[in-house]
Amino acid sequence: MLDFSDRQAVVTGGTGALGRAVVGRLVEAGARVHVPVYTAEELDGFPYRDHDSVVVHEGLDLADEADAARLFGATTSLYASVHIAGGFAMGPIVSTGLDVWDHLMRMNATTCFLSCREAAKVMGTREGRIVNVSARPALIPTPQMAAYAASKAAVAALTLSLAEELADSSIWVNAIVPSIIDTDANRAAMPDADHAAWPKPEEIAETVAFLASPQNEVTRGALVPVYGKS
């Protein structure tokens, strides 16, 4: 049984489909969870906005150094930091503008880097867990996803490097690697796909929660596929 009693966690992207599932699982296991949001609209329909064990931090841009530092500075005794915040775009390389490249790098790679850095600062030499989110196109070549794959490959490389750098502090760093997650948005975008094959956010949240937990005693430097049947 996962036990986060008396432990604090950060979940970036916590108001999204996967984020909500992760926040719920950590709260269920006893964690006090900090959730940053950029705009108040992100809280629409967020079931944990008024939960006693959830602290919402509004108006934060996690690609901004000062905002990232402010978020993590508001935590005490941080144990787990889960970095789900990110973005997606696809298209042929010949029509992919530099603005798209920069946006994906900022949303995926930069937010992850700053969140990892600030989490490591707060954790210091105490035991802790960091879980990032890469993506299958970063590991398996996928047409028309060059910019997205590159930004998520940066997350994977960052994860592997930090897993070695922070090991002596007993801070385990891992990443999950999703394929297509069964969300309302993905179903709307791909109405004819085999939705039953897609992993559910709640299923993936179980893997995330374990990697972020004290019960994960030895796993670090892993890029964990969470593909389901997809």
Q: Which residues are catalytic?
A: 148
Secondary structure of the chain in the HEC alphabet? Answer: CCCCCCCEEEEECCCCHHHHHHHHHHHHCCCEEEEECCCHHHHCCCCCCCCCCEEEECCCCCCCHHHHHHHHHCCCCEEEEEECCCCCCCCCHHHCCHHHHHHHHHHHHHHHHHHHHHHHHHHCCCCEEEEEECCHHHHCCCCCCHHHHHHHHHHHHHHHHHHHHCHHHCEEEEEEEECCCCCHHHHHHCCCCCHHHCCCHHHHHHHHHHHCCCCCCCCCCCEEEECCCC
